[in-house]
Every structure is written in structure tokens, then in C-alpha cells.
Structure 1
């Protein structure tokens, strides 16, 4: 278990480093993450490299028993590079050049940026390769953030990308639809910048994502060539960002990394960004955010929540608040004055706890029977449509996940093309875009005995964003046993469901969006109970092979998800193991020899919860009764 902090040696006098390191050692810090955003310090003038100050910092950390995760830095160039090559600045869709005073103001496709970025990264990797105090490499920071570009070089590469994918203009015309609004290209260069055409928008987003993935792949190969025995990671961002397909980027690194700022990103992020690797390194764990007031004890609970979801590294961002720049009022365990306050004391307490528990936690991972499938392509295709942001599948996924967390103790969140064979229940919220690989994967899962739940707005378009000729949900129409004649936004309307199959589904309210469902072999589980839809199907079930497909043709309101989830898990044969207590979240990690139960109490009063027999306190080894108490704003880790 890697417990530590982000540290920026270049932000502080070198005379202060020793005192910082001594205090880190006192509170159990064993790892630091350093190096990102440091190009101007590594190369203060063109061709004049100075890595010695970082080498000294790494050595001082190492002497104190603190190992380094070292980040490359090329996506934040120094001012002198912009002065020499202003053409590397990205342009927006209107051709306006972005200012350089923020982070990541680079056109990833520009050959000058690519050359210069490769130069600094190669120099850095070559210099530090083999350093025994470096335990891992990190590829830059937040790859993909803020570096979208629509300039001439980006468009030229986009046209080359289209040529490689579609081979001929006629193939592209056929795929995207000939002659609509007089669209029929003769040359790939005829494809304009993306504005309204949904096919161009979708494909350009894929192209931009591919640039970010290619950047990660090239750095991974560079790091492995120079330092083959060290794992490579990078940090994925807030769940709501969709600039990069993190499923694809995950394939280019050894360990998934992520930022965890729970005050502004949902808990689902921990499962989604963990992906199918079973563990995740939290490379930025929230300490403090400007303008967000976190209650006493929550900084520690948020960090324990990350561990309960499978984190095997927890690096708090950051050691001390910066005194200047855009983040001078932001993150930091210590304030500018260096005085130890509430947040630092919570951090120190957690460090002491991990001294005892880290070895117990390390062999375990979440073991889920339920998976959510999460598709970046569906998000991109929805946003390119006339419906836009409002029906982005991520919001429904978040609501479903919140309710799942009240029923099961772990959930996986995967690409819909991933191996689903271990799960009993797979929920695919608004799988707007479906290709052959996705359809075949879901079909195999159901036929083998799985329960698949699709939601309103599934199977609308194919891989290029073109509506299916067959009825919706497209390639899954026969699997679902229904066909949908319309999908509409219902914002401002309240739909109410009725069910004779399960009373929990009666009275549920829905809004935002709904399908007009026609039965073609499925049975009706719930109907609409009001308005012109009264009596029409709202939720259906179709038995296929050894499994079944449940189609939820409405966007249930956030508060109405739990009854649906309770019914779905029962349908899939998943029993709720613990009787939940309001305000306490419950998680499990397992290994071959034992299970760990994490109980987190988010309220300001002690709570008692029944957990059954056989559990012991994971720290002390003392047996606990069938009912266990969790202190106010506190947590317990139990072992069986």
C-alpha cells in the first residue's frame, strides 16, 4: 500500500526540503509523486538541462525511506518555447488561438510540439533511469486535459486519420450518408471542421482521443526501454471529463491511476477508473479544495473509501498549499504557514492506521458480481446528437451506481467490449452507440446465463453515428424482444409506472427521456400509468438462452433507482448480504484466504450495524460480535 503526497521541490527553497521530509517521515509517508509541470525548471533555457535539483530531492527522500513516483512534464512547455514556436498553441473550433498562461496549452498533433516534447521526455527518462529511489514512472499529468485543437495541423492529421480508416472518399460518403445537406466529399480534405454534423463530431472526438492514447503509448515504450522493471502509470481525471477514452489508454500502461476529488466527482469514478485491472493508484487524493467546505473527518473517510474500492496507492494532493499561481488557495494538507491543522491531523491519523493495516489490505481486491458498462463512444455520440448534454449516459450511470452501493459491496465498471463472463448482472445505461463487438459480447453474456439491463436510448446509432435501419435497439432488438418506434426527451413531464409483476416498481416516477416500446416476444414488467402513454410498456423482460434481457424504457428519477436495483439484483440471483444502516457505506475486498469489510460512518453520531458472525477487527485481531459499532465520522475494517 503506497501512502504518500504530491511534492513540488521547485516551489520551495531547497533549505526547506529537509524539514518537510522529516515531517513526512513522522506521519508515515513512504512515497512522493514529483516532476509533473516542471519543464521550465528542468530546461530553463533552450538546450540547458538541469535535472540535478530533482536528483537531490529524490536522494534526500530516499535517505528518509521515501520512494518517488516520477512524472514526465512535456505537456506544459516553458514560455521560451512558446516565444520560439507560437504555432504549437491550440486553436478552438472558431480558429481562435488559446492563451498560453494555463496548463496544457498545446496542439498534440503539431510536429514541433511532438518533437520538443519527445526531446524533454527522452532526456528526463534517460537521466533518471535506473535510479533506485524511483519506484514507478508516471506519464505526464491528466493526459488529454485542455489540449483539444482544431487548427490547420490538427485538421490535416484528421484528414489523414479518415483516409487510413475509410480508405476512399466513397466509403466515407456511404458510411456517413451521401447528399444530406449536399454532403458528398470528393477528397478527404473536403471534410470540414466539426460543428453540426454528428458524424464529423463523433469521428473528430475519436481522433483527438487517439492522439492522447498515442502520446501515452509512445511514453510507455520510452520508459520501458530505459527502465523495464518499473511499472508505468498515469492519472485519469474526473469521471465527467470525456476527452479521452480511458478504456483505451488503460491498455497502454501497467497500472491505472486516477484523481480522486470526491467533492466534485461521484463515487462511480473509483470503479470506472479502476476498470478491469482490479486495482487503481490514486495519484491525487483530495486534501482541500478552494470554496468547498469538507466536514471534520471526511478527508480521512474519503481516502478510506478509495482504498475500499480497490486503491493500492493513495497519494494526497498535496503536501502544502502553493503560495502563488492559479492553485494558491487550493489543495494542501498544510496551509501556507506550515501550521498543522485539522486536515493534516486527519492525514497523520490515517498514516498511523495504514502502518498497521497496509499488509492486511495489500493482497485483497474487490470481487464484484455486478458490472456497469461505460462507453465513451456512446457519450460522444449522444453529445453529437440533437439531444446533447442532458442525456449524457454518465448521469444515469452515476444514479444507478449510487443505488447499487446500497445493495452490493462492490461494483465493476467496464468497457462494454470487456470480458463479462464472471458477472451475474450487467447494467448498460443508455448504450446509444452499438457496434458488432459490443452486440456480440452482450449477446454471449446473456446466452450464457447473465441478466442484462438496458435503459432508454439504447441501440440508437452504429459505430459511425448513423441510425440503424433495423428497429431500435438496433443490433440488440431481437435480444431484448422489443422494438422502439420513438425516443423522446420528456423534460418537464412526470411519468408514473404501474406494475403487477413487482409492487416495488409501481409508483416509480421518471422524466428526462422515454422510449415508445412495442412488444416482440418480451413480457411487460411495468406499464406507464399516466398521460397518453397510459397502458404502454415501460419495463420489459425477455428470456434468451440461459439468461434474460431487461429493458427499462424510461429515465427513472434519481430518487427512484433503488427499487429498480433491488428488483434487478434479485432477478440476477444476487442476495443482499448486510442490512444497511442509514449513513453507513459498506464495501468488501477479498483474497484467497480472507475477506475485508470496510464500514464507513458519514454521520456525526455512532451507528450500530448487524454483520453476522465470524468477523474480527482487522487491526487488533479481536473478535467482534454480530452487531458492530462504528463511531461518529469514523470507520472500521473487519476481517473474516
Structure 2
């Protein structure tokens, strides 16, 4: 179990380092992450590279039993780079060239940057390769953040990317559609920068993501070549950030990493970034935020939440609050003065707990029978083609996930191309883009007897962001047993009626509405007011061995909860445990035992009766009624169980 902090020795006097290392050791820290912004300290002047200070920092930490995740650093160059090589800077969509002073403002496709970045990153990797105190590597920090570029050189690189992908300009024209507003190309060199065209906008976003993944791949491959046996990771940003297809980026690293700042990210992020690999590490775990009143216990609670969702480690950001710079009043375990405080005591409490529990947690994993699907391409396509913020698909995914959390149902979150063979229930909200691979994947899942739920605005466009010339949901219409003739935003809620789901009687449809026409599906609920009165809003279709539900609107609150509960019953999925409001139950399963994490998000204590067989994970004593303090965590263990 990796437990630690982000440390910046280059920002503090070397005389302070021994104090920090000793304090970390007392708190149970076994891992630090370092170096992602260290280029200016390694190479203050061009060609004058000095790693000796970092060598001393690593040695000191190792002497205190602390291992290092070393970062490459090239996406935040020092000032001399921008002065001597101004071509490294990227360009905003409005044509403004970014000046030095912010991080990440470089063009990943610019030849000057590529040469300089590969030189410094290779130097870092070659120097530290083979160091026994370095356990793994992180590729830079938040790769893709602020790297979008709209300069003429990136346009030419984009045009070359299109040549490689499409082969001929005729194929591009056919794929994107021709002659709308004279949008037709006789040569790839005529393709412009994106400007409100859905097909061009989606493809340019793919191109930018491709650059970010390629940047990460080059460094990951070099690390594996020069320092074999060490894992490679990088940190995925907030859930609302979508500059990069993180599912594709996960394919070029060993261990997906992530930022975990609960006040500004939904809990879904933990399952989404765990993804198909089934594991992840939190490389930036919240300690505090300037805009957030983080009281006693919450820092530890949020870190345990990450472990309960499958993390193999949590690295708090950062060890000590910066005394200067853009994050001067932001994150930090220690305050500016560097003394022990309540956050340090929370860190030490968790460190002591993980000395007992760390290896046992590592021996378990998350096991889900429900999957939520949401791909980046669908998010990009909808934004490029229908930029209505309230209708964006990730909002519905969050709604479903939060209800599953309240029900204590373990859930995976995947790209819609992912392997679905392990699941009983798959929910695919707002699956705007459906290509042949996605359609085949969902058909196969339903054929095997799975239960699938689609929602409004699904199956609208193909992989090029071009609308289907068959009724929606396009290639999913047959399995859904419905055809959709229109999609409209709802200016105000519309009342529903249902004899099948009593909880939907009088409930309200919100945000949007599909105009649905069943072909083979059975109607479960209808609109009960407005011009849509009597039209279907929820259907069920039995197809081969499985069942497909189609919800043609957005449900919230009790109505959504009723639908999710119905889907779980149909699919035969059971919750981990029934708990009082504000108490969440999570489960990790291993060969020798399963662990139950009970997290109380209430300020007051809560208690609940447990099924037979659970023991306190620390003492081994049987527990029938568990008491959980306010803003606290209890971990229970069970060894006599059947793995499903």
C-alpha cells in the first residue's frame, strides 16, 4: 500500500529536509512523489544540468524508510526555454499565444518543444534509472491540461493526421458529409481549424487527445526500456476535464493514477478512473482547498473512500503549503510555518492504521456486477454537435452513480467498448455516439442475458459525429424495440404516469424528452400532461436472452431511485449492505478475506446491525452491532465466504 505525500524539496532549504523526512516517517509515510515541476532546478541554464540535489533528497528519504515515485518534468519549462525558443508556446483558439508564467502552456506537436522535452526527460530517466529507492515513475503531471493548441503548425500536423487516418480526401468527405455550407475538400491542406462544425470539432479533439497519449507513451516506453521492473503511472484530472481519452491513456501506462478532490469532483471519478484495469492509485489526494472548509476527519475519510473504491495507494497533495506562487494559499498537510497540526495528526492516524491493514487491503479488489458506460468520444461529439450544458451526458451518469452509491451497490464505470461479460446490469446514459464496435458490444451483452438501460439522446450519431439515416437509437433500435422521431429540451417538468412502477406515478420528467414509438417494446410509463400526454417515456424490450430498457427523459430524486431499484431487481443484483442515511458500505474481495468499509459522512455517530460473520479488521473480535463515529470509518473483515 503506497501511503504518502507530494514533496517539493527544491522549494525548501536543504536544512529543512531532515525535519520533513523525520516527520513523514513518524506519520507512517512510506512513499513520496517528486520532480514534476523540477526542470528549472535541474537545469537553471541551458546545458547546465545538475541532479545532485535530488540525489541527496532521495537518499535522505530512503534512509527514513520512504520510497520515491519519480516524475518526468518537461511540460513546465523554465523561463529560459520560452525566451530562447518562443516556438514552444501554444496558441489559444482566439489566436492569442500564451506567454510564460502559467504551467503547461506548450504545444506538444511543436518541433522545438519535442526536442527539448525529450532531451530533459531522457536525462532524468537515464540518471535515476536503476535506483533502488525509486519504486515507480509518473509521466509528468496532468498530461493534456492546457496543452490544446490552434496554431498554424498544429493545423498542418492535424492535416497530416487526417491523411494517415483517412487515406484519401474523398473518404474524408464521405465520412464527414459534403457540401453543407460548401464544406467540401479537394485536398487535406484545405481542412481548417475547428469552428462550430460537429465533424471537424470531434476529429480535432481526437487529434489533441492523440498527442497527449503519444506524449505519455514515448516516456512510458523509455522508462520500461531503461528502468525495467518499475511501474509507470500518470495522474488523470477532475471528472469534468475531458481533453484526453483517459481510457486510451490507461492503455500506455501500467497503473492509472488520478487526482481526488471530493469537493469539486463526484465520487464517480474513483470508479471511472479505476476503469477496465480494475485498479488505480490516487496521486493527488485532497488535504485542504482554499475555498473549502475541511473539518476534522474529512481528509482521512476521503482517502479511505478512495481505498474502498479500489485504490492501491493514496498520495496527499501536498506535504507543506507553498509559501509563494500560484498555489500559495491552496493545498498542504502542514501549514506555511511547517509545524504539526490537525491534518498532520490525521495523516499519522491513517499511517498507523495502514501499517496494520495496508497489505490486507492490497490483497483484495473491487468486484462489481453493475457497470455504467460513458466514453470520451460520446462526450466530445455531443459537445461539438449540441452544446447545451444541461443535456450533457456526464450529468446523467453522475445521477445514476450517486443513486447506486446510496443503495451501496458496487459499480464499475467503463468505456462502452469495454468487456461487459462480468456484469448483470449495464446502464449507458446518453450514449450519443454509437459506432459498430459499441453496438456489437451491447448486442452481445443482451444476448448473454444481460439487462441494459439506455436513456434519452442515445444512438444519435456515428463515429464521425454524423447523424444516422435510420431512426434513433440507430444501430440499437432493434434491441431497444423503439424508434425515436425527435429530441427536445423540456422548458418545464412534465408529469408522468405508470401502473408498473407506482413510484413513477406523478413523478416528473425533466431536462429533455425523446419522442418514442415502440416497435416491439412494452410501455412501462407514459407522459401524463402537456402535448406529449399518452406518449411512452419508459419501455422494456425482451431481446434474445436479455432485456433492454429505454428511458426517454431525465429522472431525478425518488423517481430515479425507483427506476434504479427496479433495474437492480430485474437483474438480480444485491447491495453490499443496508445502511442508515449518510453511511456508505463498500466491499473489497480477496482470496483469503473480504473487507467491508463503512464510512459515516454524518457529523453524528451511527450504528447498524451486521449480518453474522463479520469481525473488526484490526482486533479480530466478532461484531454484531457496529458503532461508527461521526465523520469516521470502520473496517470489518470476513474470511468464511463464497467468492461469486
TM-score past 0.5 threshold: yes
Residue 399 of structure 2 aligns to a residue whose secondary structure is helix
Tell me which residue corresponds to 1:638: 636
Residue 243 of structure 1 aligns to a residue whose secondary structure is coil
Structure 1, residues 319-341: CA drift from partner, whole Å, max 9, x if none? 10000000000000000011222
Within a 5 Å distance, the mapping from 1:422-501 to structure 2 comes to 422-490=422-490, 492-501=491-500
Distance 2:429 2:360 in 1: 35
**1:349 to 2:349 alignment:** yes
Residue 275 of structure 1 aligns to a residue whose secondary structure is helix
Tell me which residue corresponds to 2:641: none
Distance 1:138 1:347 in 2: 23
Distance 2:531 2:10 in 1: 66
Tell me which residue corresponds to 2:510: 511
Residue 532 of structure 1 aligns to a residue whose secondary structure is coil
Tell me which residue corresponds to 2:140: 140
Distance 1:290 1:579 in 2: 35
Shift of 1:347: 1.4
**1:52 to 2:52 alignment:** yes
Distance 2:318 2:80 in 1: 28
Tell me which residue corresponds to 1:263: 263
Distance 2:575 2:318 in 1: 38
Tell me which residue corresponds to 1:416: 416
Shift of 1:277: 1.4
Distance 1:38 1:504 in 2: 57
Structure 1, residues 570-621: CA drift from partner, whole Å, max 9, x if none? 1111123522201101100001222111001111211111321100000110
Within a 5 Å distance, the mapping from 1:24-39 to structure 2 comes to 24-39=24-39
Within a 5 Å distance, the mapping from 1:462-611 to structure 2 comes to 462-490=462-490, 492-558=491-557, 560-611=559-610
**1:308 to 2:308 alignment:** yes
Tell me which residue corresponds to 1:297: 297
Residue 485 of structure 2 aligns to a residue whose secondary structure is strand
Residue 263 of structure 1 aligns to a residue whose secondary structure is helix
Distance 1:247 1:50 in 2: 36
**1:114 to 2:75 alignment:** no
Shift of 1:79: 0.5
Q: Is the 8 A contact 1:409 1:588 kept in 2?
A: no
Shift of 1:561: 2.2
Residue 612 of structure 1 aligns to a residue whose secondary structure is coil
Q: Would the alpha carbon gap of residues 326 and 559 (structure 1) be closer, same or farther in structure 2, given more than 3 Å must change? A: farther
Distance 2:294 2:559 in 1: 27
Q: Is the 8 A contact 1:579 1:610 kept in 2?
A: no
Unaligned runs of 5+ in 1: none
Tell me which residue corresponds to 2:251: 251
Residue 94 of structure 1 aligns to a residue whose secondary structure is coil
Distance 1:339 1:318 in 2: 14
Tell me which residue corresponds to 1:22: 22
Tell me which residue corresponds to 2:642: none
**1:167 to 2:167 alignment:** yes
Shift of 1:559: 5.6
Distance 2:48 2:414 in 1: 45
Shift of 1:510: 2.2
Distance 1:348 1:510 in 2: 48
Structure 1, residues 129-156: CA drift from partner, whole Å, max 9, x if none? 0000000011000000011000011100
Distance 1:42 1:392 in 2: 43
Structure 1, residues 155-202: CA drift from partner, whole Å, max 9, x if none? 001001111111111111111111100111111111111111111100
Distance 1:13 1:317 in 2: 20
Tell me which residue corresponds to 1:94: 94
Q: Is the 8 A contact 1:93 1:194 kept in 2?
A: no
Distance 1:559 1:339 in 2: 47
Distance 1:614 1:415 in 2: 37
Structure 1, residues 277-319: CA drift from partner, whole Å, max 9, x if none? 1211000000011121112211110011000000111100011
Shift of 1:385: 1.4
Q: Would the alpha carbon gap of residues 72 and 558 (structure 1) be closer, same or farther in structure 2, given more than 3 Å must change? A: farther
Structure 1, residues 496-518: CA drift from partner, whole Å, max 9, x if none? 22111121232322211110000
The two structures have a TM-score, normalised by structure 1, of 0.98
Distance 2:517 2:402 in 1: 30
Q: Is the 8 A contact 2:321 2:336 kept in 1?
A: yes
Q: Is the 8 A contact 1:360 1:618 kept in 2?
A: no
Distance 1:164 1:559 in 2: 50
Distance 2:374 2:56 in 1: 43
Distance 1:260 1:33 in 2: 15
Residue 624 of structure 1 aligns to a residue whose secondary structure is coil
Distance 1:559 1:191 in 2: 49
